[in-house]
Amino acid sequence: MSSYENVWISSLALVIIIVASWTCGLAQATQTSDDRTDTPKSGSITGRVVNESGQPLANAAVFVRAFGVAGPGNVTASDGEGNFQVGGLEPVAYQISAAVPAYTAAPRDPDSTQAPYHRVGDSVKLELIRGGVITVR
């Protein structure tokens, strides 16, 4: 074999090794990024349901729905102190409301700078005001 053939074979072997290494690295990087997307990122939103005097409202139905998404979302109930927690939420914006018989949501202040949605990790205060009660005899 001539020195030219030795250099050519050595260069070819080096190119094959580099391509093989790059391909293995690419496959490993792809697998790592796939593993990251398989892991659900979830969290919770906590809060308290109170009346207009700040007193806790027990057993309030609390509705949590992804912002701009139709469907039932998640429902939980407040405890005896009006506290609630909804877990397993994806990191998106959520609309949160509460319902208690004889109460309605307090009207939103038009000058408020608070956004009408909440994110995972937020603590929310939901204020309900006493509504009218109709009694049938």
Beta carbons of 125 and 86 less than 8 angstroms apart: no
Q: What is the pLDDT of residue 60?
A: 95
User: Taking the CB of residue 89, how many other CB atoms lie within 10 A of it?
Assistant: 20
Percent of the chain with pLDDT over 70: 69
pTM here is 0.64
Which DSSP helix (H) or strand (E) runs through 96?
strand 94-99
State yes or no: pLDDT of 125 exceeds 80: yes
State yes or no: pLDDT of 121 exceeds 90: yes
Beta carbons of 119 and 47 less than 8 angstroms apart: no
State yes or no: pLDDT of 87 exceeds 80: yes
Classify 51 as helix, strand or coil. strand
